[in-house]
Amino acid sequence: LFSLLAVMTVFLAACGEEHLSTLKPSGAVGKEQLNLLLLTTVIMTIVVIIVSVIYLLAFVKFRRSRVGEDVMPKQVEGSHTLEVIWTVIPIILLIIISVPVLTATYKFADVAAMEEVDENGEKTALTVNVTAKLYWWEFEYPNQGIVTAQELVVPTDEKVYFNLIAADVKHSFWIPAVGGKMDTNVENINKFYLQFDKESKDLKEGVFFGKCAELCGPSHALMDFKVKALEPEAFKAWVAAMQATEGNTASAESSDLGEAMFANSCLGCHAISGTGVSGAFGPNLTTFGDRNRVAGFMAHTVEDTVEWIMNPEPNKPGNLMTGKYNVTEAEAQAIAEYLMTLSVEK
Ligand code: CUA
């Protein structure tokens, strides 16, 4: 038993990573969900302890060497008192667990505020349409008219409402330190909200990490995304900067080799304008230079970007960027350097 526990400790060690821990939650939703976890764990632990103690007592008290050979202890089969006790106690425990769990579940799914409008008829709640794809994430802000990919930017101190959908197979949207998880289905939209509170900024400067939490294919484990929580003013500035990229495009005639190559080889699938381009085939690259990671999990460096452009399949098996792009290593280097200049924060 002790060896087993020791081995489990090793496996659980990685769970200590703060930004992926549900045990150190940030934001009101994550905190309430942790309280529910603790409530059920405490109740289950008490049940295990009481049952184990009764079992051990019976084991000791009625063992043969104590009561004597061939002595049958008093039989209690059919005892109404006992049956009532072991029926009523679990019912009470289930009520204690289910009332707060169901209350919270319906509360976090209450998205009526998504439809509220101000005096100008504009929607007041911040809504993000999340589309999960093999193996990346698209984030559309319908009321701001902007789209980004792989990196979700949210304001602190307000409820952020999510419409979750999948483009191909079932995925699951999960930001362990903030709350979730919630399935993204192909056919019906799941809705809930999360809160990224100001104190969340202590956690790696407001950066959280999200994961796909539903086995969806060979690169499921690499289907990560980043969440950046900005103070409300900084968030407004970010939205304005994204809107200002309207019409951004790359020219095949550019004197910049990277831009010209990008226009020739990449623009068919990837957009570099953050406005009005939802549903593009590949991830929107408007904020590529601001990202923390490349392709969701590689280092945010020119070197790893070149590696990604040249060898997408071995790095992320089953992803859809697997064609032959006819670019040399030097051209990929130029494209990577150009991509690093795409920024709304610098
Ligand atoms: Cu998408 Cu797992």
Asked if the model's pLDDT at residue 15 lies above 90, the reply is no
**Are 191 and 145 in a shared domain?**
yes
Backbone angles phi, psi at 123, to 5 degrees: -70, 140
3-state per-residue secondary structure call for 267-321? CCCCCCCCECCCCCCCCCCCCHHHCCEECCCEECCHHHHHHHHHCHHHHCCCCCC
Please give the residue range of the domain that contains residue 100.
Answer: 20-62+77-229
Mean pLDDT of the residues in the chain: 87
Q: In the listed set 229, 246, 278, which residue is the last one of a domain according to the structure? A: 229
Asked if the model's pLDDT at residue 18 lies above 60, the reply is no
Helix or strand run (H / E) with residue 29: helix 28-61
Sequence-distant (6+) residues with CB within 8 A of 20 are 176, 177, 209, 211
Residue 216 CA, closest ligand 1 atom number: 2
| CATH label of the domain that carries residue 116 | 2.60.40.420
Give the C-alpha separation, 254 to 66, whole Å.
94
**Are 156 and 52 in a shared domain?**
yes
Nearest CA to ligand 1 atom 1: 171
Q: What are 141-179's pLDDT values in tens digits?
A: 999 999 999 999 999 889 999 999 999 999 999 998 898
**Are 56 and 151 in a shared domain?**
yes
Within a domain: residue 15?
no
Within a domain: residue 250?
no
C-alpha 142 to ligand 1 mean position (Å)? 24
pLDDT at res. 343: 87
**Are 137 and 86 in a shared domain?**
yes
C-alpha 150 to ligand 1 mean position (Å)? 13
Could you tell me if 260 and 252 are in contact, meaning their C-beta atoms sit under 8 angstroms apart?
yes
Give the C-alpha separation, 116 to 134, whole Å.
33
Give the C-alpha separation, 306 to 337, whole Å.
9
ipTM: 0.98
C-alpha 215 to ligand 1 mean position (Å)? 5
3-state SS class at 68: coil
Q: In the listed set 209, 229, 249, which residue is the last one of a domain according to the structure? A: 229
N-terminal to C-terminal alpha carbon distance within the chain: 55
**Are 192 and 136 in a shared domain?**
yes
Whether ligand 1 lies within 6 angstroms of the CB of 171 is answered as yes
Closest Cα to residue 160, out of 27, 344, 36, 18? 27
pLDDT at res. 323: 65
**Are 185 and 262 in a shared domain?**
no
**Are 318 and 204 in a shared domain?**
no
pLDDT at res. 260: 86
Structure-model confidence comparison of residues 14 and 222, the more confident one: 222
Asked if the model's pLDDT at residue 55 lies above 90, the reply is yes
Within a domain: residue 2?
no
Residue 135 CA, closest ligand 1 atom number: 1
Q: What are 275-321's pLDDT values in tens digits?
A: 766 556 888 888 888 888 888 888 899 999 999 888 888 888 888 88
Q: Quote the number of domains for the chain.
A: 2
Within a domain: residue 245?
no
Give the C-alpha separation, 32 to 36, whole Å.
6
Q: In the listed set 212, 229, 246, which residue is the last one of a domain according to the structure? A: 229
For residue 209, what are its two tokens? 């990490």
Residue 214 CA, closest ligand 1 atom number: 2
